[in-house]
A and B are shown apart, each in its own frame.
Chain A
């Protein structure tokens, strides 16, 4: 089955700097890669996703890149703000089986 590894487990950045979180997956048939943000005590919420036929996708300060050959994808957050502090999860799916999540990255943005 699919296995998703996520790094780093914790990340601290200064406000205004960029943050990058990386994930690798094992199943070459996976074709859908979402990212979720979970604030303390709240539900995870989808912030961006990408499909395997696309190499990069942007939404304001957030971008995701996908390298199918290397089987890794990354979340990029630019101009970080304190409200970006949260736990971020990556996931992968081939569509006919449930999402497999990484273990999460705790991002702290220091003002």
Chain B
């Protein structure tokens, strides 16, 4: 069966520090991969998605970037975090069409 791993679960970082969040999927090939952000009590904002290795689509201009170095690995990065980057970050995957999404357990990021 397919599983998605996302880490870390919580992260506290100072303003201006770098960020690297990693997500891996097991049990499937060539998944679509997504990064979402959820501010406290708010909706799901799509940040990036990827339909294949090296293919990244950015939905929102910001100081974040994403990379997909391997088929089932998706990384979210920042060179310098801002206070506004705080939130709950969710990785997700789907197969084929952009339909049934399965989310990782999320990373609660606090930028202080």
A44 is contacted by which of B49, B90, B98, B99 (Cβ under 8 Å)?
A: B90
In the complex, the answer to whether B44 meets A43 with C-beta atoms within 8 Å is no
B106 within 8 A of A: yes
A83 to B43, alpha carbons, bound, how many Å?
A: 21
In the complex, the answer to whether B43 meets A46 with C-beta atoms within 8 Å is no
B7 within 8 A of A: no
In the complex, the answer to whether A49 meets B100 with C-beta atoms within 8 Å is yes
Which residues of B sit under 8 angstroms from A104, Cβ to Cβ? 42-44
A98 to B49, alpha carbons, bound, how many Å?
A: 8
The dominant DSSP class at the B interface is loop
B31 within 8 A of A: no
B34 within 8 A of A: yes
Chain A CB within 10 Å — which of B32, B103, B108 has the most? B103
In the complex, the answer to whether B100 meets A45 with C-beta atoms within 8 Å is no
Interface residues on A, range: 20 to 34
Produce 1/0 per residue, B79-112, CB < 8 A to A.
0000000000010000001111111111010000
The dominant DSSP class at the A interface is loop
Residue on A nearest B106 in the bound complex, by CB: A43
In the complex, the answer to whether A98 meets B90 with C-beta atoms within 8 Å is no
Which residues of A sit under 8 angstroms from B44, Cβ to Cβ? 44, 89, 101, 104
B97 is contacted by which of A32, A42, A46, A49 (Cβ under 8 Å)?
A: A32
B105 is contacted by which of A34, A43, A49 (Cβ under 8 Å)?
A: A43
Which residues of B sit under 8 angstroms from A98, Cβ to Cβ? 32, 34, 46, 49, 59, 98
- Residue positions of A touching B, CB distance < 8 A: 32, 34, 36, 41-46, 49, 89, 93, 95-99, 101-104
